Structure 1
Amino acid sequence: MKKIAVVLIAVACLAALPATAQDGAPVDVAVFDFELIDSSLEGEMMGENPDETRRTAALGAQLRQAFDEADGFEVIDIAPVADEASRRSLQRCGGCDVTLAGQVGAELAVTGTVQKVSNLILNINIYIRDVETGETLRAMSADIRGNTDESWQRGMDWLIRNRLDLGA
């Protein structure tokens, strides 16, 4: 019985995002840069990898572009809060993503992480929260194999197409 309840909750959380605000205007979305969570032995021994830093930035740009091209969404410029967002872990800051998104006038806060377990096993995660309530509307994940530009891009493409349903 508990498994059924968990499944029903998970399905409810995957409900479609609002494509337009109640007044028919596009929904304003703040898409923050992705964060790398490197729990790999390589990361521990070698430190920051410039290729992964570049790929992490590219994921944020790719997701912003997908929202920008989708009907019913308006991507808000996060430049006024970008420095503060980059200094914090938006996944562990107790809702600062929602606060920062609200400061730039967004209705939705979109954050993401890439968790690197090893050079072979990585995971891309996207979280969408309602700025007014702080509620998590969607959380999605894609496992990728291989630490390459192509694998990261394909993982994000899959999430956009199959979990966000933005048509990209």
Structure 2
Amino acid sequence: MRALSSIVVLLLLGSVAFADPPKLAVFDFELLDTSLPGEFYGSKPEQERLGRISEQLRKELAESGRFQLLDIAPVRDAAHRSNLQACGGCDVELAGKLGADLEITGLVQKVSNLIINLNIYLRDVKTGSLITVASADMRGNTDESWTRAMSYLIRNRLLAPNYGKPE
């Protein structure tokens, strides 16, 4: 079990090349909105942004060539009915149904329009073990800030050549 996790980490770090990259399921990001505007007006703009950053992540990871991205459509409804961050491993189970080796879930935590945090969680589907977490804070609730935060995490965490390597 540890061997697969080690291989995945090396693959993420760009140190190993495989003929067949690991199969990856990227679930739609979820929102935890504890802001006052969210309570009064709802979270419609944030819900639309969640969809955009989820697609952005899928697209950029697929284009990297390091993963075989799987279509989550067969389990999307079940995933949307669950809180993937607190469902006791249902995310791993759903990814397993797709035949994934790895899975990503994500959470955007909105405290206010000026305090927003974007989190990405990468897990090994066979063991359920957390492989890595990437997190970025945003200062501003705009399409641009969300897109830039996701770009930063992809470029400087998930696909960075030295991410996670001991110094």
Q: 1:121 aligns with which of 108, 112, 115?
A: 115
- Measured in 2, the distance between the counterparts of 1:22 and 1:164 equals 16
Deviation sequence 1:73-106 (CA, Å, 0-9, x none): 1000111000000111100000111100010011
Confirm whether residue 65 of structure 1 aligns to residue 32 of structure 2: no
Mapped partners of 1:146, 1:16: distance in 2: 32
Q: In the alignment, which residue of structure 1 is the partner of 2:78? A: 84
Comparing 125-134 and 17-26, the one that deviates more: 17-26
8 Å CA contact 1:17–1:137 kept in 2: the answer is no
Q: Deviations over 1:95-143 (max 9, x none)?
A: 1111000100110010001000100110000000000000000111000
Query: Which runs of no fewer than 5 residues in structure 2 stay unpaired?
Result: 1-5, 162-167
Structure 1 unaligned runs (5+)? 1-12
Q: Find the aligned partners of 2:141 and 2:98 in 1 and give their Cα distance.
A: 33
Q: What RMSD over aligned residues (CA atoms) do the two structures have, in Å?
A: 2.2
Q: Percent identity?
A: 54
> Could you list the per-position Cα deviations for residues 45-89 of structure 1 after superposition, in whole angstroms to 9, with x for gaps in the alignment?
222x22111101111100000111012210001110000001111
Letter in 2 for 1:86: H
TM-score (norm 1): 0.85
Are the counterparts in 2 of residues 81 and 100 from structure 1 also a CA contact under 8 Å?
yes
Specify the SS of the correspondent of 1:123. strand
Which contiguous aligned blocks of 4+ residues in structure 1 show a shift greater than 4 angstroms? 19-23
Q: Which has the higher contact order (CA 8 A, sep 6+)?
A: 2
Mapped contact 1:67–1:166 kept (Cα < 8 A)? no
